A = this chain, B = another copy of it.
Amino acid sequence: MSVEEQFAKLCLESAAAEGATPVKSLVFKPKTAKSATPVPIVVVALQTTATPSPLIAQATKTKDPRLARDDLFKSAFNCETAKSFTVAYLNGVAASSFQLLIDSQLESVADDAVLQLNETLCIKKGELTKFLAQFEPVTADFTQEVKKPEQQQKKKPAQQQTNNASLEDAKLIGITVDKTKDFPGWYQQVLTKGEMLDYYDVSGCYILRPPSYAIWENIQRWFDDKIKGLGVQNAYFPMFVSSRVLEKEKDHVEGFAPEVAWVTRAGSSELEEPIAIRPTSETVMYPYYAKWIQSYRDLPLKLNQWNSVVRWEFKHPQPFLRTREFLWQEGHTVFLTKEEAEEEVLQILDFYSGVYEELLAVPVIKGRKTEKEKFAGGDFTTTCEGYIPQTGRGIQGATSHHLGQNFSKMFNLTVENPQGPQYPKVFAWQNSWGLSTRVIGVMVMIHSDNKGLVIPPRVSQTQAVVIPVGITKKTSDEQRKIIHESARDIESRLKKIGVRAFGDYNDNYTPGWKFSQYELKGVPIRLELGPRDIEQNHVTVVRRSDSQKYNVKLDELETRIPEILEEMQKDLFEKAKEKFDTHRVIVNEWKDFVPNLNKKNILLSPWCGVMECEEDIKESSAKKDDGEELEVDEKSPSMGAKSLCIPFAQPELKKDQKCIKCDRPAIQYCMFGRSY
């Protein structure tokens, strides 16, 4: 008798399935030392319950559980594939050989309600509970906010007991993990508690809440003005692309094919041909460019679109940095000459670096990608690269590609020769360039702290919050009225000069509670107005970034507040720049390479320019023997150093300088680092 048949004795007829509540059975594998046998975690939950890995980790006191692969299903439960697994396979398995976690929301279902385990298996909830009881289940509350408890840290043998990531005096409402000790946990909290973003029930997709979308709108406005100044026009192309068209440029599509999401069904009809969702729009747009461009007088053609694209990555998703759908702009321009195109590539790169440095206060290094790292199908890629101090890793900021004539040859994007029709037709020169919501993630990682978000004033949805203070039981009604009216007056004066101000006059919360709230949300400055301030005819201003206090005279409000905001903007940039500068070191000899990498540095090293050597550098700089599994993923510090870019600003190369890794002569300095 098969396990399913055995289990079926407990089960109802499948006819009872209508109206049944769907339940999922998932198996996770926690991270364990290489030598150990992993103890799988079985999660039984309502289909509608999201079961984020951190909450599973917390409930089972394990580390970094991931969805198990087929081999574990086979070895632990004698089940061939993840897909066919249900709790039926637990029948006869020793309780000690796995951990069982039950969704607390499932417990609230009535005992005689019918649950649906897969297409054919149904069971009454009471029966299921009885069946599962033998395996000593633990109940998990998946409705709570994800947090990183201390237990998790304690299990890490390499870390000392004192290296506890939880913040001593953090209240539940604030950030409870330390940025310096548990960076990923901190990042998740600062985003969700700061209300920038929320996790979504489709893995790898996130909700951009108003404060983050407002940052994106501010970036859009700035960048859109810049490109319109260059004569770029906005347009909108469809999100769908037929497989034939998508696959036209082979080099190009190879880079994206594994991540393309396919629509195969509409309503209840199978589509005749599956249709892809654009991962980027080169192949969507260029067939039409070829149609529209008939004469060299139609050039240059410069279009941009603000849209979302989908790349169904299977690597660990991270809010803003690696998401399956993301917002971006993609510009696609066509020129008659290589020179015009090359000029534009760099103009756009300057705008990108402007978004980082001028708006987000994030320093970046401009340069060119190596052949290995460039955009597939293009001639060369320029990039601006950032640096995350906590992890010591580089991060690609935004890229501007010169496509040469590669795409124009594939898509037959030609114009008559300006010298006359008797000369051969000319293939056009193209660029494409994109900047995505990833910028917001970089900004958060760099400026924010253990009190919450720190948002640079130029992009913050709210720039200043006005809070009445010093109101006690003894305060007279009249005085209370004066304070509130003065505060409202300040708010409206600030709004009048274009400061994005907001007043919180709610009496139900204490000023202290409000301070924490707006610190958590990263509002750049707070204006406190109390009886003493009014007496002295000033307002107390506190900067979010460093708690610096100012007394601003009320009649100087209109000049001082914008100044303070600009000073904070500048200071944020300077502080981040200093960190990047001190962690960007020139390393000329291989023996210093890995040690410097391990000091969380980005390295500038002389390099031969050969792709195999680049691969060798990555390979040789990866840590391999740290008692962990060799799983070079995003969370692991063991990854090797990638080339980040060949910076435009080059240190002087010594005569006869050899490559950092091989015996070939160096031709330039290249920037290497572990990276996102």
Report which A residues bind B (CB closer than 8 A): 22, 47-48, 82-83, 198, 200-202, 205-210, 213-214, 216-217, 233-242, 244-245, 248, 257-269, 272, 274-275, 277, 287-288, 291-292, 297, 303, 307-308, 310, 312, 314, 324-325, 327, 461, 506, 508
From residue A507, how far is it (CB to closest CB) to chain B in Å? 11
Task: Give 4 nearest A-B pairs by CB, closest first.
Answer: A266-B312, A205-B238, A210-B233, A258-B267
From residue A225, how far is it (CB to closest CB) to chain B in Å? 12
Q: Are B262 and A263 in contact, with the CB atoms below 8 A?
A: yes
Q: Give the complex CA separation of A455 and B209 in angstroms.
A: 36
Contact A83-B272, Cβ < 8 Å, known A238-B325, A266-B262, A325-B240: yes
Residue pairs across A and B with Cβ atoms less than 8 A apart, 28 shown, are A47-B244, A48-B248, A82-B272, A198-B288, A198-B292, A200-B288, A201-B287, A202-B238, A207-B235, A207-B237, A208-B237, A210-B233, A213-B233, A213-B234, A213-B236, A216-B236, A233-B461, A236-B327, A239-B325, A240-B324, A240-B325, A258-B267, A259-B266, A260-B266, A261-B263, A263-B277, A265-B274, A266-B314
Q: Are A508 and B297 in contact, with the CB atoms below 8 A?
A: yes
Of chain B, the residue at the smallest CB distance from A302 is B210
Of chain B, the residue at the smallest CB distance from A262 is B265
A207-B236, A236-B327, A277-B277 known, 8 other contacts, Cβ within 8 Å:
A200-B238, A206-B238, A207-B238, A214-B234, A257-B267, A267-B314, A269-B314, A308-B308
Of chain B, the residue at the smallest CB distance from A143 is B291
Contacts of A233 in B (CB 8 A): 210, 213-214, 461
Of chain B, the residue at the smallest CB distance from A200 is B238
Contact A210-B265, Cβ < 8 Å, known A241-B202, A288-B198, A297-B508: no
Of chain B, the residue at the smallest CB distance from A211 is B233
Of chain B, the residue at the smallest CB distance from A256 is B267
Q: Are B264 and A264 in contact, with the CB atoms below 8 A?
A: yes
Contacts of A239 in B (CB 8 A): 308, 310, 325
Q: Are B261 and A266 in contact, with the CB atoms below 8 A?
A: yes
Contacts of A275 in B (CB 8 A): 202
Of chain B, the residue at the smallest CB distance from A237 is B207
Contacts of A257 in B (CB 8 A): 267
**DSSP class of A's interface residues: helix, strand, loop or mixed?**
mixed
From residue A413, how far is it (CB to closest CB) to chain B in Å? 15
Contact A22-B244, Cβ < 8 Å, known A213-B235, A237-B207: yes
Of chain B, the residue at the smallest CB distance from A509 is B297
From residue A196, how far is it (CB to closest CB) to chain B in Å? 11
From residue A90, how far is it (CB to closest CB) to chain B in Å? 20
Of chain B, the residue at the smallest CB distance from A224 is B217
Q: Give the complex CA separation of A269 and B202 in angstroms.
A: 16
From residue A218, how far is it (CB to closest CB) to chain B in Å? 11
From residue A326, how far is it (CB to closest CB) to chain B in Å? 10
Contact A210-B238, Cβ < 8 Å, known A264-B264, A267-B259: no
Contacts of A261 in B (CB 8 A): 263, 265-266
Contacts of A277 in B (CB 8 A): 263, 277
Of chain B, the residue at the smallest CB distance from A263 is B261
From residue A521, how far is it (CB to closest CB) to chain B in Å? 13
Q: Are A48 and B244 in contact, with the CB atoms below 8 A?
A: yes
Q: Give the complex CA separation of A291 and B50 in angstroms.
A: 13
Q: Give the complex CA separation of A274 and B22 in angstroms.
A: 15
Of chain B, the residue at the smallest CB distance from A216 is B236
Contacts of A205 in B (CB 8 A): 238, 240
Q: Give the complex CA separation of A236 and B370 in angstroms.
A: 35
From residue A670, how far is it (CB to closest CB) to chain B in Å? 31
Contacts of A234 in B (CB 8 A): 210, 213-214, 217
Contacts of A297 in B (CB 8 A): 506, 508
Contacts of A272 in B (CB 8 A): 82-83
One of B207, B216, B461 near A288 (C-beta < 8 A): B207
Of chain B, the residue at the smallest CB distance from A273 is B47
Contacts of A291 in B (CB 8 A): 198
Of chain B, the residue at the smallest CB distance from A303 is B210
Q: Give the complex CA separation of A268 and B233 in angstroms.
A: 36
Q: Give the complex CA separation of A234 and B245 in angstroms.
A: 34
Of chain B, the residue at the smallest CB distance from A207 is B237
From residue A300, how far is it (CB to closest CB) to chain B in Å? 13
From residue A510, how far is it (CB to closest CB) to chain B in Å? 15
